[in-house]
Amino acid sequence: MIKIAILGYGTIGSGVVEVLNTNSESIAKRAGDGIEVKYILDLRDFPGDPMEDKVIHDYDVIANDPEVEVVVEAMGGVEPAYTFVKRALLAGKNVTTSNKALVAKHGAELIAIAKEQNINFLFEASVGGGIPIIRPLNSSLTADEIEEITGILNGTTNYILSKMTFEGLEFADVLKDAQSRGYAEADPTADVEGYDACRKIAILTSLVCGQQVDFEDIYTEGISKITADDIKYAKAMGLVIKLLATSRKTKEGYCAMVAPFMLSQQHPLYSVNDVFNAIFVHGNVLGDAMFYGSGAGKLPTASAVVADIVDIAKHLHKNILISWSSKKMDLVDKGRSESRFFVRSAEDKEKVQSLFGEVEFVEVPQISGEVGFLTGKMSEEEFEKKADGLNVIQRIRVV
Ligand code: HSE
Beta pairing class for 392-398 and 253-263:
parallel
- Rounded CA gap, 58 and 40, in Å? 10
Give me the pLDDT at residue 186, please: 86
Number of domains in the chain: 3
Whether 93 and 69 have beta carbons less than 8 Å apart is answered as yes
Helix (H) or strand (E) holding 260: strand 253-263
- Kindly list the catalytic residues: 200
Strand-pair partners of 4: 37, 70
Cβ of 230 less than 6 Å from ligand 1: no
Cα 189 to Cα 56, 65, 184, distances in angstroms: 32, 39, 10
Mutate to test the pocket of ligand 1, among 196, 223, 272 (most ligand atoms within 8 A of CB): 196
Q: Are 103 and 146 found together in one domain? A: no
Cα 325 to Cα 84, 94, 321, distances in angstroms: 21, 19, 11
Residue 8's nearest CA partner among 69, 133, 95, 110 is: 95
CATH code (residue 96): 3.40.50.720
Q: Are 125 and 157 found together in one domain? A: no
Local mean pLDDT, 10-residue blocks, the chain (399 residues): 98 97 98 98 98 98 98 97 98 98 98 98 97 97 97 97 97 93 87 98 98 98 98 98 97 97 98 97 97 94 98 97 98 96 97 97 96 98 96 97
Cβ of 156 less than 6 Å from ligand 1: yes
The gap from C-alpha 321 to its chain's centroid, in whole angstroms, comes to: 22
Task: Determine the distance separating the centroid of ligand 1 and the alpha carbon of 5, expressed in angstroms.
Answer: 24
Q: At what angle do helices 298-314 and 11-22 cross, to 10 degrees?
A: 60
Q: Are 192 and 212 found together in one domain? A: yes
Q: Are 157 and 286 found together in one domain? A: yes
Task: Determine the distance separating the centroid of ligand 1 and the alpha carbon of 220, expressed in angstroms.
Answer: 16
Q: Are 221 and 279 found together in one domain? A: yes
Q: Are 103 and 148 found together in one domain? A: no
Helix (H) or strand (E) holding 35: strand 35-41
CATH code (residue 281): 3.30.360.10
Cβ of 196 less than 6 Å from ligand 1: yes
pTM of the model: 0.97
Is 327 part of any domain?
A: no
Is 321 part of any domain?
A: no
Q: Are 38 and 68 found together in one domain? A: yes
CATH code (residue 355): 3.30.70.1150
Q: Which of 314, 344, 360 is the last residue of a domain?
A: 314
Provide the domain limits for residue 364: 336-398
Beta pairing class for 371-374 and 360-362:
antiparallel
- Rounded CA gap, 56 and 76, in Å? 18
DSSP state of 339: E
Is 329 part of any domain?
A: no
Q: Are 234 and 359 found together in one domain? A: no
Q: Are 173 and 207 found together in one domain? A: yes
